[in-house]
Structure 1
Amino acid sequence: MPDSSLISFVIIWLGSTLLFKNLDIGFLEIKDYLALGAIFSATDTVCTLQVLNQDETPLLYSLVFGEGVVNDATSVVLFNAIQRFDLSHITSTIATEFFVNFFYLFLTSTVLGIVVGLLSAYIIKKLYLGRHSTDREVALMILMAYLSYMVAELFDLSSILTVFFCGIVMSHYTWHNVTEKSRVTTKHAFATLSFVSEIFIFLYVGMDALDIEKWKFVSKSPGKSIGVSSILLVLVLVGRAASVFPLCFLSNFTRKSESDKIGLKQQVTVWWAGLMRGAVSVALAYNWFTMSGHTQQPGNAIMITSTITVVLFTNVVCGLLTKPLVRFLLPQHKQSSNRMSSELSSELSLVLPLLTNREDPIPDSMVGIVNAPHPPSLRMLLTRPTRSVHYYWRMFDDAFMRPVFGGRGFVQHVPGSPKQNSLHEWLLPEQQR
């Protein structure tokens, strides 16, 4: 996924460097073109995620969500690396130092998020007293996630990337170490915070688009502004295609099973989901092309208004076309009356491979659920695990990580706390109940 951001970054950087010369935009230097590559490498996949069904297409949903977050984080890391170096005269030494610094920021931010996530899981599982207190468990999870962000900012790392990997680790370990009330509370609390944050972000972008000061400069040369916006939009389309389809082809080339491969319709969906640009691009553009929070040069005003134009166009036009396009490429399966709920389906999809290997008979209450028809896209989750990286990771995780940091099935029941889901209780070995 960082590879797709790097490919888009290179294409937008080189394309803008070559094409902007025809528009007589002479105020831009090589560092500005590099910054444009980082600014427009950040994607906004929220619109597509609202349309996709996680139960219908789990692999596609994971690809779109993971790529969207990692692309934003990679763009911020690239942007920070560009700010740290004097790239007016690029040499082999400076280029090497630049890429070393980029990978250093990427790896350290990732490791920091993982460490804080594991620390939160260990504290709640081993050191934290009063695990049956919902208020304290929820507060601790929120504060530990915020701690990862603050530490990343303190050391000038990528806070987005740190929070992302901290959230992955906490959802895999920490979330299963708390009581059922705490799990329900954190699920709805974070969903609400996410929804409110998205509203404020789009309100900010919309209000910023109404700033008259920038548009006064642009009105003096409307043709140049339209040309810049059009070039950037075309480069976004080309860069996105050059990063998605070749990488999907290489991914499919390494997969033996046809059910694990990414089909052409899914590739088009991933490509379309990454066309939209959001608040990250606007924030980075303001960070680079403004002085003291204000636009003081006509050239900077053109670049900021062009960024806002691309963001609004991709969100309004591409956003409106997302739902019909996804429905056309990925038609919905007919819902049957005995289909399980989405939450139970997501939990069951994780444990059904274990059911096939158990010698114990399946309880009567579970027969209808196990034998219920499932979407074809879940086929890979219902088969026995293959000898893949995921298979060996699960073995390592079950043998070493989860006994120490907790997780599903590795946390003893605390007296006085709500009981776990009956499905989980049945799946646990007798000695762990």
Structure 2
Amino acid sequence: MAAYLLGVVLFFLGIAVTIALHEWGHYITARAFGMKVRRFFIGFGPTVLAKQRGETVYGLKAIPVGGFCDIAGMTAQDDIDPADLSRAMYKKPWWQRIVVLSGGVIMNVIVGFLVLYAVAVSSGIPNPDVDTTATVDTVQCVPETQLSETELSSCTGLGPVADAGIEHGDKILAVNGEEMANFTEVRDTILTLPGETATLTIERDEMLFDAPIQVAAVTRLAADGTEITVGAVGMSSLPPTDIYKKYGPVEGVGATARFTGDMIEATWEGLKSFPAKIPGVVASIFGAERDVESPMSVVGASQIGGEFVERSMWDMFFMMLASLNFFLALFNLVPLPPLDGGHIAVVLYEKVRDLFRKMRGKPAGGPADYTKLMPLTVAVAAVLMTIGGLVIIADVVNPIRLFG
């Protein structure tokens, strides 16, 4: 229990640091371009600590998750001291504004990369070059029927695979001329061929040959308990080796970059499916089974972090923290206010608008009027707060458990 609680606290602190670094990305880029940063706070709620250094007030709020970087003149509607007008953000070139608005996103990507790099050189990360070719482990006879969820009928003989001369260690490259990426694809293809002859392309000792196999037609139980007829050939898979690989300091850079790209791509796919998973989160509050891939809040993520530390799975702990950084980066790029992506969209709108005005011989149109975006901003903020509240409730009453 002590290890679990330690993991919960450490992951919570990791989230707090992640958000702080996101805001620091805005801070350092704003300062680099001569913009005035009036306040830099970590957390939200009542102020616990505040101290002014130079022109910036630095502070800590009561709840150390979240934060903000108050840049003078972020919009033309902001109240600003006339003496600071030349340093107002909206007065700066469009590309500088985009760099500052993207500073948090860039920082999250950098942090995620550095965390993964540390894992790569210390304990290892998933090997992007792992050989997933379907490899035969055992061959056996094929039971004709499935008696229950965990029991099959008895069988005799060698089985279709053994009858075809296929042995332990053989690699299956194709079925009926169709290339197979892994054993799962081989299995799913065989399932659709009951009673037919399938030709497996086999690699053995760097030699290729075709092995015709008479696929057995067997009865199995579907998810709903009904009997279905599928194909089976009697073999099991040999798991890939070197699934995880530890890298040296130099080669780890390239490997981490590739893995970072894979994680960002997976995060993007997850973000696209995010809205469709909200109904499941709501249902889980009222007792429905919680999908392990459903969205999690700070509470849920910290609980998973606790489970990893409890089992000394520090590599998974840090990889999840890296994944969180990538999620925050992509989520903040969504082109809706009040997210960073919404502000970037406004800057790009101003640039495109002024380009067309110039083509018509007109002067630039000036800064966008953010008051017109206020209804959208309030609506988006309300939706995000509602979803966040629902996910937190789900994480409390029906949390995701990776280990039962």
* TMscore range, shorter length: under 0.3
Structure (1 or 2) with the greater strand fraction: 2
> More helix by proportion, 1 or 2?
1
Structure with larger RCO (C-alpha < 8 A, sep 6+): 1
What's the TM-score, normalizing by structure 1? Answer: 0.24
Higher Rg of the two aligned structures = 2
